Amino acid sequence: MIASARNPLTYDPTVLERVLGRVRAMPGTVVVFDLDSTLLDNKPRQARILREFGAARGIRVLAAARPDHWVDWSITRAMANAGLGAEEVARWADQAKQFWRERFFTSEYCRDDEPIAGARDYLAAIGEAGAIIAYCTGRHEPMRGGTVDNFVRLGYPVPGARVHLLMKPVFELSDDDWKLEAYARLRELGAVVAVFDNEPTHVNGYRAGFPDATVVHLATDDSGRPVTIADGVVSIKDFQRR
């Protein structure tokens, strides 16, 4: 049976302890983490961009945009949530989208990301249990500097002997295609015992590509595609161990 990502999900916060148990039993195995909307909350980055757009265009309500105005990946919904009327949203939407595209996928702006609740402590626990940590992200290589700077600021493990950051070689490669390409690189690091990702398409791919791994869906936000989540994938809201 397949459960819909838009229907009630199978939440299981105990999966965090089970993954730690697997790593302790098999030190040197690999735990894979996506970044955006998995370990990192992008809403502060989104809000900064919208504020800067508002300031540049003299739109007062947008210049005061907050992270909580972003409820998904729609900039027009965020503009409305910030208090801009429907006609003004329509007037400025195309310019705002272009302004966003020019900034969101950059090292400078990704430094603003904040942690998903519990992520820092869980990453530390995974490392202490003996895992090799593999960040596998749809970010492209020019974002590496800002990404690592953000890790340092947040206290996340930084790339080194037992921590790897796998990024798209070029922006134009789709995230879906990149994740599939990354499987071979992940296997070279060792046996993958767990994967955490927010995107239904990607958790399904990991479930098929690594059938012995524990695959966990982060129920934060995603691309909004009508993709169903495969059997055997459980969901969590964050990394807080309850």
Provide the pLDDT for residue 223.
86
pLDDT score for 1 = 34
Residues 6+ apart with CB under 8 A from 224: 72, 73
pLDDT at 9: 87
- The model's pLDDT over 209-232, given as tens digits with 9 standing for 90+, comes to 999 999 999 999 988 888 999 999
Q: Distances in Å between the alpha carbon of 18 and those of 129, 214, 236?
A: 12, 9, 13
Q: What tokens does 194 get?
A: 């767990």
Number of neighbours of residue 6 by Cβ within 10 angstroms: 12
Model pTM score? 0.94
Residues pairing with 8 in the sheet: none
The structure tokens listed for 149 are 């700077």
Q: Are 47 and 69 in contact (CB under 8 A)?
A: yes
Q: Which one-letter DSSP state was computed for residue 189?
A: H
Q: Which residues pair with 115 in a beta bridge?
A: 40
What are all long-range contacts of 79-84, with beta carbons under 8 Å and residues at least 24 apart?
Answer: 79/50, 82/50, 82/54, 84/59
The hierarchical CATH code for the domain 3-41+113-236 is 3.40.50.1000
Whole-number Cα distances in Å, 50 to 22, 94, 151: 42, 13, 24
- pLDDT at residue number 14: 96
pLDDT attached to residue 7:
55
Alpha helices in 64-118 (DSSP H): 75-81, 86-104, 107-110
Q: For residue 94, how far is the Cα from the chain centroid?
A: 25
Which residues of the chain have a pLDDT value below 50? Answer: 1-5
pLDDT tens-digit series, residues 71-97:
988 999 999 999 999 999 999 999 999
Question: Parallel, antiparallel, or unpaired: how do β-strands 234-236 and 214-218 relate?
Answer: parallel
